[in-house]
């Protein structure tokens, strides 16, 4: 199961968007419930955060409100460890009697969980829900498979460009406004200050590389449902791959050190003062604030190819879904609304810093906390999502894209060969997924 959330840090949270556990549930037989009980106990599994008490307080308030409106219904919340989440969900899908009614899950898992028969289609209820009308389109996409809705977004996470204001001022450089300026600034900084990475990049940082591909007009794959075909080797995608991999080497981030780095390592490099720039998430803010660069950095949207444009960012985050096996469907949907509604998301932002998935609540959060503004701008410019295919889990866990980047930066393959090979592996995964 995939958690596309936050970088582990002192007040931050679980894991980097790229962390994957491969033991997802196999396809199950009919796990649909046979009734819809209006009383009884609802069981909910939520993720255990590094600092969980603030989250628990917000959840408890939402549950209390739900309890007042639903006499005869009780709620049991269990915070499950990240390390065992895949096995727990797999067991829940295969044994409906012991399964919870609702689960929190990483948003890249939606298609896989739908294929596994684990999540309930709540399209009708979502469509009639007043709050849902203000859901950010990319967040809504993360709960949508083949036009049907399978849960509600809980929070969204996007990345932007963190940069050292003191170093930029010292060298007379302005914050980059295009991809070419970004690459140029990174190399200039490393040349002037060889002890620093100009821009910390990682060969295993898939979600940091994706904006380069998307900004150049490339796609990971084309199609929908079971009809996806890899597009990572298209001419436009190759332009983006070439731009990203040009940042590896002695002119910016030496391949020997940077090829194996993931997103966590690149943000840590920035926070500890070893890099002048890094691509980090809103969820990286606490880690950077806890580092040696506190008070000496700013954040702007990651620039696109055209001057003053914004590169599309990957919209990570988590959702809450109702299990198909729940015997309390109506109650479970109402509880899902309580846990993911506007009021709760506003409180969760205050408590944990998680970005709301509603456009109006997000705008209010940006006014309250200035550090959120570049991430809101990034979302507003149009974030993107991974292919809504159950194959994505396999593509991600088998490290197809990191392998491609590492083959290029090590010099073992050129962009054309490496992207062709990656496309073949992606197409095999799409075919296997049906």
pLDDT tens for 157-216 read 999 999 999 999 999 999 999 999 999 999 999 999 999 999 999 999 999 999 999 999
**Average pLDDT over all residues of the chain:** 90
- Identify the pLDDT of residue 286: 86
Beta bridge partners of 274: none
Q: For residue 149, how many other CB atoms are within 10 A of its CB? A: 23
Q: Is the pLDDT of residue 277 over 90?
A: yes
Q: What is the DSSP letter of 160?
A: E
Q: Is the pLDDT of residue 25 over 60?
A: no
pTM reported for the whole predicted model: 0.84
Q: Is the pLDDT of residue 146 over 50?
A: yes
Closest C-alpha to 120, from 341, 357, 326? 326
Rounded distance, CA 188 to CA 185, Å?
5
User: Which residue carries 């030496």 as its tokens?
Assistant: 254
Give me 63's structure tokens: 């549950």
pLDDT tens for 209-250 read 999 999 999 999 998 766 899 999 999 999 999 999 999 999
Q: Is the pLDDT of residue 3 over 70?
A: no
Query: Which one is predicted more confidently, 48 or 130?
Result: 130
Q: How far is CA 254 from the centre of its chain?
A: 27
Confidence class of residue 388 from pLDDT cuts 50, 70 and 90? confident
Rounded distance, CA 258 to CA 205, Å?
10
Helices (H), 7-143: 53-69, 85-94, 110-115, 123-127, 137-141
Rounded distance, CA 300 to CA 178, Å?
12
Rounded distance, CA 380 to CA 214, Å?
16
Rounded distance, CA 238 to CA 249, Å?
18
Give me 257's structure tokens: 């050190």
Rounded distance, CA 301 to CA 139, Å?
19
Give me 269's structure tokens: 């490099």
Confidence class of residue 156 from pLDDT cuts 50, 70 and 90? very high
pLDDT tens for 114-130 read 998 999 999 999 999 99
């Amino acid at each position: 199961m995939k958690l596309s959330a936050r970088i582990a840090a002192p007040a931050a949270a679980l894991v980097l968007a790229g962390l994957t556990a491969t033991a997802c549930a196999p396809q199950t037989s009919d796990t649909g419930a046979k009734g819809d009980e209006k009383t009884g106990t609802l069981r909910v599994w939520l993720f255990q955060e590094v600092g969980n008490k603030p989250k628990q307080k917000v959840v408890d308030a939402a549950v209390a409100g739900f309890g007042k409106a639903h006499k005869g219904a009780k709620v049991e919340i269990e915070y499950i460890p990240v390390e065992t989440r895949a096995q727990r969900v797999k067991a829940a899908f295969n044994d409906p009697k012991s399964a919870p009614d609702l689960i929190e899950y990483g948003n890249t898992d939606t298609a896989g969980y739908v294929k596994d028969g684990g999540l309930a289609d709540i399209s009708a209820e979502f469509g009639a829900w007043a709050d849902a009308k203000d859901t950010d389109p990319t967040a809504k996409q993360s709960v949508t498979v083949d036009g049907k809705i399978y849960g509600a977004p809980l929070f969204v996470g996007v990345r932007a460009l963190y940069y050292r204001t003191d170093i930029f001022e010292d060298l007379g450089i302005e914050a980059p406004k295009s991809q070419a300026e970004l690459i140029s600034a990174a190399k200039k900084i490393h040349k002037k200050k060889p002890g620093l990475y100009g821009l910390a990049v990682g060969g295993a940082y898939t979600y940091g590389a994706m904006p380069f591909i998307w900004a150049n007009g490339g796609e990971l794959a084309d199609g929908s449902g079971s009809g996806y075909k890899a597009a990572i080797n298209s001419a436009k995608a190759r332009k983006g791959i070439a731009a990203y991999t040009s940042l590896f080497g002695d002119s910016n981030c030496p391949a020997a050190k940077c090829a194996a780095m993931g997103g966590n390592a690149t943000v840590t490099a920035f926070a500890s003062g070893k890099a002048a720039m890094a691509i980090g998430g809103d969820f990286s803010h606490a880690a950077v604030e806890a580092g040696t660069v506190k008070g000496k950095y700013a954040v702007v949207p990651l620039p696109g190819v055209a001057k003053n444009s914004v590169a599309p960012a990957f919209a990570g985050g988590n959702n809450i879904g109702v299990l198909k096996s729940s015997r309390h469907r109506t109650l479970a949907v109402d509880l899902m609304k309580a846990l993911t509604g506007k009021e709760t998301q506003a409180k969760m932002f205050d408590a944990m810093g998680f970005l709301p998935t509603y456009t109006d609540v997000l705008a209010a959060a940006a006014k309250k906390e200035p550090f959120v503004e570049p991430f809101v701008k990034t979302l507003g410019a149009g974030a993107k999502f991974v292919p809504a295919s159950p194959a994505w889990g396999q593509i991600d866990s088998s490290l197809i894209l990191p392998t491609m980047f590492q083959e290029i930066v090590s010099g073992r393959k050129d962009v054309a060969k490496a992207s062709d090979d990656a496309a073949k592996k992606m197409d095999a995964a799409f075919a296997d997924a049906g």
